[in-house]
C-alpha cells in the first residue's frame, strides 16, 4: 500500500499527518510505529489522522504516539491538526473545531501562530507523595488532556530527563496508565523553561503542548504569576499559555498559542 502523508512540526514536536476523511486508511500499531521510526520510516513523535466528525465539530482528531498506541490528546499535535484541517476547508476559516478523546477543541489562526482552546485540567495534586531516586524535587500532578507530572528543578540543563522521566513514567503511583514527566525552572515571574519525557515516545521530545500547560498552571499555583505565562521549550520556541482561574485549583479557558509548520509531503510504501 502506498500511503500519502504530510510532515508537520509544532515547536519541534513533529508528526506524520494523514487525511483519512474517507476512512479508507486502516493502520495497525506496528505500521504506525514503523512510520514514526526515525531510521527506517518518516520519523516523528507521533501520527495525526484526520477523520470525519461524529458529534457536530468540523473534524475528528486521532492521535497515536510513536509506539503506535492511541493517546487522548497532544497540544502541539492539535495545533498542527488545526493548521492542516483549516487548509482542507473550502474557505479559509479563522477557527476550526475537532473532536478528541479529551473533548471537543477549537483552533484559532492568530497571525502566524495557532491558538488551541484546551480541555479543562483535572485531577490536580500539588503533592503526590511519590519520589524517584536521585531527583530532589516535589512531584506534582495534573491531567491537561493527558496525565502529567511536573517537577521544578534548579538546574534544568543538568537534569537527567530520560533517566528520571522514565522512573516517573513507570512509577507505581501513576500506574497502570503511566504519565508524562516534565522538568521546569523559573526564568523570571511568568516565564519558565521546561523539558519533557513523553509517555509513548519513551524519550525526551523537543516540545510537549499539554506538558507546557501543566507546567504553566503549576507555576501560577506556586507563585501567583498571572496569565499568560511564557514557556521556553527545548526546540527553541517560546509559547504562551493563557487561562482563567475559577477556584483554588481549578481553571477554564485554557489556551496554548505557538507555531505549527508544514515541513514536507510524500508517499511511502507500508
Would residue 36 show up in a list of annotated catalytic residues for this protein? no
**Rounded to an integer, what distance in angstroms lies between the CA atom of residue 1 and that of residue 167?**
39
Active-site hit among 36, 74, 80, 215: 74
Torsion region of 23: left, alpha or beta (phi above 0 gives left; psi -120 to 50 gives alpha): left
16 touches 47 (CB < 8 A): yes
98 touches 58 (CB < 8 A): yes
| C-alpha closest to that of 123 among 13, 251, 269 | 251
Active-site hit among 36, 80, 208, 215: 208
139 touches 98 (CB < 8 A): no
**Rounded to an integer, what distance in angstroms lies between the CA atom of residue 27 and that of residue 57?**
24
What is the residue whose three cell numbers read 482561574?
A: 245
Give me the active site residues, please.
Answer: 74, 208
Amino acid at each position: 500500500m502506498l500511503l500519502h502523508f504530510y510532515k508537520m512540526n509544532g515547536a519541534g514536536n513533529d508528526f506524520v499527518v494523514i487525511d483519512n476523511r474517507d476512512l479508507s486508511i486502516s493502520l495497525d500499531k506496528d505500521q504506525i510505529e514503523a512510520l514514526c521510526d526515525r531510521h527506517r520510516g518518516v520519523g516523528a513523535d507521533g501520527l495525526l489522522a484526520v477523520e470525519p466528525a461524529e458529534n457536530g465539530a468540523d473534524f475528528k482528531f486521532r492521535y497515536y504516539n510513536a509506539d503506535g498506541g492511541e493517546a487522548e490528546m497532544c497540544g502541539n499535535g492539535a495545533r498542527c491538526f488545526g493548521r492542516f484541517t483549516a487548509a482542507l476547508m473550502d474557505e479559509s476559516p479563522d477557527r476550526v473545531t475537532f473532536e478528541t478523546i479529551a473533548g471537543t477543541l477549537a483552533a484559532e489562526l492568530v497571525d502566524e501562530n495557532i491558538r488551541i482552546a484546551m480541555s479543562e485540567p483535572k485531577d490536580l495534586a500539588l503533592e503526590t507523595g511519590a519520589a524517584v531516586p536521585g531527583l530532589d524535587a516535589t512531584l506534582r500532578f495534573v491531567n491537561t488532556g493527558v496525565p502529567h507530572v511536573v517537577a521544578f528543578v534548579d538546574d534544568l540543563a543538568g537534569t537527567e530527563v530520560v533517566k528520571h522521566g522514565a522512573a516517573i513514567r513507570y512509577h507505581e503511583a501513576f500506574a497502570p496508565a503511566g504519565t508524562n514527566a516534565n522538568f521546569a525552572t523559573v526564568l523570571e515571574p511568568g516565564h519558565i523553561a521546561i523539558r519533557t519525557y513523553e509517555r509513548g515516545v519513551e524519550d525526551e521530545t523537543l516540545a510537549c503542548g499539554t506538558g507546557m500547560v501543566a507546567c504553566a498552571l503549576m507555576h501560577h499555583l506556586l507563585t501567583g504569576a498571572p496569565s499568560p505565562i511564557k514557556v521556553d521549550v527545548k526546540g527553541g520556541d517560546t509559547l504562551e499559555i493563557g487561562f482563567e482561574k475559577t477556584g483554588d485549583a481549578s481553571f477554564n479557558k485554557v489556551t496554548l498559542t505557538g507555531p505549527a509548520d508544514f515541513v514536507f509531503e510524500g508517499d511511502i510504501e507500508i
